[in-house]
Amino acid sequence: MRKDKRLQRDLDNAEDYRSWRAAALELDELEGKADWRAEDESRDYDFRLIRARLNELRQLREEQRVSELVYALHEGLHGNLGGIANPKIYTYCRVGTKLLIEEYLHEVAICLNYLCDNEFPDFTLDDKIRFFKRTGSSFGRSGLMLSGGATLGMFHLGVIKALWSEDVLPRVLSGSSAGSIIAGAVGTRTDEELTEMFEPGGLYLDAFRLFDLRSAMRNRSLMDQGQLWHCLQQNMGDYTFEEAFERTRRIVGITVSPIEPHQHGRLLNYLTAPNVLINRASLASCAIPGVFPPVMLQAKSYDGDIIGYMPSKRWQDGTLRSDLPMLRIARLHNVNHYIVSQTNPHVVPFMKDDRARNSTGLVSLVSELARSSYGVYSKHIVETARHRMDPEGWWRVAEKLLALTNQRFSGDINIFPSQHPKKLMRMLSSPTEEDMRHFIRSGERRTWPQIERIRNSSVISRTFEACLQRMKDRGETRRDKAPGERVVRLRASSSRA
């Protein structure tokens, strides 16, 4: 009992993921959960299929039967093969899941790196590129989506830090409203610059300044948009989406909503709006109705001048139409696995911790019914109100509410903070350095229990990306090693007997 309490204290007071993970593994061992991990059998996934698949791939690789290995990988790579992505198999232990699953994923990564980094007479560079592009495209990849939430969205920075520190930060990110600030700041920074962002003073935080009554009436908004604009310029510079992509190789998307009733929300990124300024897109995405006025987007002309982008149109808060633009991200960037950092105060109370074991108690049943009923009834109420309203009056308000309630606010893996009334009262206040330390630590701690699941879910797609980059570098400069070259590997949580 004393050891159990000591380990729990170590878990609660861990300063980094390594310390948290060490305490969590020891607690799992103490509670007998390590035995569950070591046993292949479970009703939650097809362990026979995974075991057979692991043995087949390992044998083909060790016997250097390259053509058969390529065939086996091309035909049999799926993100949820045999149910290995089932959330339930990540609810038994604090760290990781079945060792068989981790060993299988590790073997797939080894096989891909083996094919990429060696020369074979019957598997040329062109064959490799074709195989990796087709199979990688078929497999898909992960994306990180950052919701709105005003100052509460600074929680996203801790999520980013935890993922970055463990080398599992997806290349594809989207942000709405407050999430666009963090996504834009990440998307304009190189790897070397990104580390500095997590230090005290790494971001300029003075974004919110209330108008006095006269200024608020004159500007028809509660907050000084000029102050927010200055904050965004300080944190992102004047990069366009295309310039940021070329600089960092990260794919950043920002959602904005139209003020016109017959327009659709847009996802701005280096493909859909390459010349639009990221900081201006974020300003529009943060334009909460009544708090900040709608925004005209800006872009760089062919000559590099700043000009209006669709100057007759104005845009506002991206959360209103598309807080998490999953469908558009999927179409543009082949994303089929979504990690969501959700901080919207109207959503978080109804989020469910997908690491929690299912309970059969009355309280759990009532809670589940409340969560499921919330979305159904809110949509029905808004839809009914919309049909009964005057099209020239409150109808547009109902339209916006309907767009809000029709959205999906969760993904495959969800990370969200605990909510307190004190936090909600300061949603539109500029965070102090102490506030930022709290937000970052909270985001890290809420992400740590999901790290191994994220690592397992993304290791194959990350390996595909790394292999394609290395092959591209070798194809362009065959004798020169690519700078910053690295091989993605799945770090085993513990050795398997």
Specify burial of residue 157 (Cβ count, 10 A radius: 0-12, 13-18, 19+).
Answer: buried
Quick check: 484 pLDDT over 50?
A: no
- Answer yes or no: do 220 and 318 share one domain: yes
The torsion region of residue 249 among left (phi > 0), alpha (psi -120 to 50) and beta comes to: left
Residue 18 φ/ψ, nearest 5 degrees: -60, -45
- Answer yes or no: do 313 and 195 share one domain: yes
pLDDT band at 483 (very low <50, low <70, confident <90, very high): very low
Quick check: 150 pLDDT over 60?
A: yes
**pLDDT of 46-101, one tens digit each?**
999 999 999 999 999 999 999 999 999 998 899 899 999 999 999 999 999 999 99
Lowest mean pLDDT among 173-182, 204-213, 303-312, 330-339: 204-213
pLDDT the model gives residue 370: 55
Answer with the residue of higher pLDDT: 280 or 149.
Answer: 280
Q: Assess if residue 480 is contained within a domain.
A: no
- The first and second tokens of residue 48, run together, are 């026979």
- Answer yes or no: do 54 and 136 share one domain: yes
Average pLDDT over residues 336-355: 86
Q: Assess if residue 376 is contained within a domain.
A: yes
- Answer yes or no: do 367 and 325 share one domain: no
Among 294, 248, 244, residue whose Cα is nearest residue 273 = 244
Residue with tokens 């987007």: 297
The torsion region of residue 199 among left (phi > 0), alpha (psi -120 to 50) and beta comes to: beta
Percentage of residues in the chain having pLDDT higher than 70: 83
- Answer yes or no: do 274 and 419 share one domain: yes
- Answer yes or no: do 263 and 160 share one domain: yes
- The first and second tokens of residue 289, run together, are 């109705």
pLDDT the model gives residue 485: 43
- Secondary structure (H, E, C), the chain: CHHHHHHHHHHHCCCCHHHHHHHHHHHHHHCCHHHHHHCCCCCCCCHHHHHHHHHHHHHHHHCCCHHHHHHHHHHHCCCCHHHCCCHHHHCCCCCCCCHHHHHHHHHHHHHHHHHHHCCECCECHHHHHHHHHHHHHHHCEEEEEECCCHHHHHHHHHHHHHHHHCCCCCCEEEECCHHHHHHHHHHCCCHHHHHHHCCCCCCCCCCCCECCHHHHHHHCCCECHHHHHHHHHHHHCCCEHHHHHHHHCCEEEEEEEECCCCCCCEEECCCCCCCEEHHHHHHHHCCCCCCCCCECEEEECCCCCEEEECCCCCEECCHHHHCCCHHHHHHHHCEEEEEEECCCCCCHHHCCCCCCCCCCCHHHHHHHHHHHHHHHHHHHHHHHHHHHCCCCCCHHHHHHHHHHHCCCCCCCEEECCCCCHHHHHCCCCCCCHHHHHHHHHHHHHHHHHHHHHHHHHHHHHHHHHHHHHHHHHHHHCCCCCCCCCCCCCCCCCCCCC
pLDDT the model gives residue 358: 52
pLDDT the model gives residue 2: 79
Quick check: 479 pLDDT over 50?
A: no
Mean pLDDT of the chain: 85
Answer with the residue of higher pLDDT: 168 or 370.
Answer: 168
pLDDT band at 211 (very low <50, low <70, confident <90, very high): confident
The count of structural domains within the chain is: 3
Dihedral (Cα; 397, 400, 405, 407), 10-degree rounding: 180
Residue 268 φ/ψ, nearest 5 degrees: -95, 130
**pLDDT of 398-432, one tens digit each?**
455 445 555 677 899 999 998 776 667 677 788 88
Average pLDDT over residues 233-241: 96
Instruction: Report the C-alpha gap between 134 and 74 in whole angstroms.
Output: 8
CA 49 to chain centre: 30
Average pLDDT over residues 104-112: 98
Query: One of 28, 317, 323, 412 is an active-site residue; which one?
Result: 317
- Answer yes or no: do 136 and 163 share one domain: no
pLDDT band at 382 (very low <50, low <70, confident <90, very high): very low
**pLDDT of 263-276, one tens digit each?**
788 999 999 999 99
- The first and second tokens of residue 156, run together, are 């996203």
Quick check: 30 pLDDT over 50?
A: yes
Query: Catalytic: 46?
Result: no
Average pLDDT over residues 338-357: 83
pLDDT band at 303 (very low <50, low <70, confident <90, very high): very high
Q: Assess if residue 487 is contained within a domain.
A: no
Q: Assess if residue 320 is contained within a domain.
A: yes
Answer with the residue of higher pLDDT: 33 or 422.
Answer: 33
pLDDT band at 477 (very low <50, low <70, confident <90, very high): very low
- Answer yes or no: do 312 and 175 share one domain: yes
Lowest mean pLDDT among 300-309, 381-390, 405-414: 381-390
pLDDT the model gives residue 347: 87
- Answer yes or no: do 120 and 63 share one domain: yes
Q: Assess if residue 125 is contained within a domain.
A: yes
Residues in the chain: 497
pLDDT band at 205 (very low <50, low <70, confident <90, very high): confident
What CATH number should be reported for the domain holding residue 279? 3.40.1090
- The first and second tokens of residue 450, run together, are 């999901």
Residue with tokens 């608020």: 216
Contact indicator for 337, 412 with CB cutoff of 8 Å: yes
CB-side neighbour CA atoms (13 Å) of 228:
31
pLDDT the model gives residue 494: 41
> Exposure string (b/e) for 61-97, b if CB count within 10 Å is 16 or more?
beeeebeebbebbeeebebebbbbbbebbbebbbbbb
Q: Assess if residue 484 is contained within a domain.
A: no
Average pLDDT over residues 39-48: 96
- Answer yes or no: do 206 and 336 share one domain: yes
- Answer yes or no: do 132 and 219 share one domain: no
Query: One of 142, 177, 257, 457 is an active-site residue; which one?
Result: 177
For residue 282, the enclosing domain spans 141-344+409-449
- Answer yes or no: do 222 and 297 share one domain: yes
Instruction: Report the C-alpha gap between 391 and 386 in whole angstroms.
Output: 8
Quick check: 218 pLDDT over 90?
A: no
Q: Assess if residue 496 is contained within a domain.
A: no
Terminal C-alpha separation, the chain: 28
Answer with the residue of higher pLDDT: 39 or 376.
Answer: 39
Average pLDDT over residues 185-206: 89
Query: Catalytic: 317?
Result: yes
pLDDT the model gives residue 439: 92
Q: Assess if residue 48 is contained within a domain.
A: yes
